[in-house]
């Protein structure tokens, strides 16, 4: 029989801390397709990545870049080497950033004559309950299932495809009715987790995002939800 004075267990303290520090966030993972392809020499690979980060810098700091009219305020972002991860607290921000990135890189690619010089992206978006976790340098970084799913969804994206977990579609459409999504079925990601995936569709006077190519997934079962626009 436990004493009344027994101190809280480690699990109890962890749960209490998690409840206190948790918040809801939306994540975007992006990487440069083929940045390390063997047909490119090191200088070409580095140039692609530097051009991507230069474009990203211009978008994130519109006060220094008049062509970008929207501002983005990520709660956290960091480089992943050949791409980046973003944490937002506003549901539309991952999609707005995706659109801005694609627009700016379309302009960049139009100035390049060689396919090897052009930059293609793949993007994954998801969200959920999130915790701040202290790193070795003492700074905090977000962590949670939504962040993991965003990465796994990105891994399934084809070049120039923006994928997101389906549960986000209804949430996002509450804030922007013009956003459309195309269901690409339910897929198994790492550790057996099942995720319904959609492709983000968007069109304005500058760009059209309509990539509904089946995902790059080798899971055993593909339980198709729908083939219609949502």
Q: Is the pLDDT of residue 66 over 90?
A: no
Q: Is the pLDDT of residue 70 over 80?
A: no
Chain-centre distance of CA 52, in angstroms? 15
Quick check: is 8 in a domain? no
pLDDT of residue 12: 53
Task: Note the pTM of the prediction, 2 decimals.
Answer: 0.84
Give the mean pLDDT of 123-146. Answer: 91
Strand duo 121-134 + 76-79: pairing: unpaired
Residue 210's Cβ-count burial label (10 Å; 0-12, 13-18, 19+) is middle
Express as a percent the part of the chain with pLDDT over 70. Answer: 81
Q: Is the pLDDT of residue 229 over 80?
A: no
Q: Is the pLDDT of residue 225 over 60?
A: no
Domain that holds residue 81: 21-164
pLDDT of residue 224: 47
pLDDT of residue 22: 84
Quick check: is 212 in a domain? no
Give the mean pLDDT of 50-74. Answer: 76
**pLDDT class of 227 with cuts at 50, 70, 90:** very low
Quick check: is 6 in a domain? no
Quick check: is 221 in a domain? no
| Domain count for the chain | 1
Quick check: is 152 in a domain? yes
pLDDT of residue 226: 43
Quick check: is 15 in a domain? no
Strand duo 161-165 + 121-134: pairing: parallel
Q: What does the block give as tokens for 103?
A: 């627009």
Between CA 89 and CA 102, with CA 175 as vertex, the angle to 5 degrees is 75
Residue 34, domain CATH: 3.30.70.1230
SS3 127: strand
SS in 3 state form for 73-114?
A: CCCEEEECCCEEEEEECCCCHHHHHHHHHHHHHHHHHHCCCC
Residue position matching structure tokens 């870049």: 65
pLDDT of residue 10: 46
Quick check: is 145 in a domain? yes
Residue position matching structure tokens 């977990």: 165
Quick check: is 44 in a domain? yes
pLDDT of residue 169: 85
Please state, rounded to an integer, the average pLDDT across all residues of the chain: 84
pLDDT of residue 1: 44
Q: Is the dihedral of CA 71, 76, 79, 85 positive or negative?
A: negative
């Amino acid at each position: 029989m436990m004493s009344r004075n027994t101190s809280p267990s480690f699990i109890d303290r962890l749960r209490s801390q998690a409840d206190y520090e948790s918040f809801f966030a939306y994540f975007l993972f992006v990487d440069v397709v083929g940045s390390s392809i063997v047909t490119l020499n090191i200088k070409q690979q580095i140039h692609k990545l530097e051009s991507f980060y230069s474009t990203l810098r211009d978008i994130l700091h519109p006060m220094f870049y008049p062509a970008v009219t929207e501002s983005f305020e990520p709660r956290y972002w960091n480089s992943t080497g050949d791409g980046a991860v973003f944490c937002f607290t506003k549901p539309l921000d991952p999609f707005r950033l995706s659109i801005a990135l694609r627009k700016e890189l379309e302009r960049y690619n139009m100035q390049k004559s060689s396919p090897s010089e052009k930059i293609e992206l793949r993007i994954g978006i998801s969200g959920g309950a999130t915790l701040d976790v202290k790193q070795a340098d003492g700074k905090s970084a977000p962590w949670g299932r939504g962040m993991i799913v965003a990465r796994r969804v990105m891994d399934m994206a084809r070049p120039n495809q923006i994928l997101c977990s389906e549960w986000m579609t209804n949430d996002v459409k509450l804030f922007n009715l013009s956003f459309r999504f195309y269901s690409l079925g339910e897929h198994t990601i790492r550790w057996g987790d099942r995720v319904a995936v959609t492709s983000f569709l968007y069109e304005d006077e500058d760009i059209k995002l309509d990539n509904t190519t089946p995902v790059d997934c080798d899971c055993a079962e593909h339980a198709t939800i729908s083939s219609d626009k949502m």
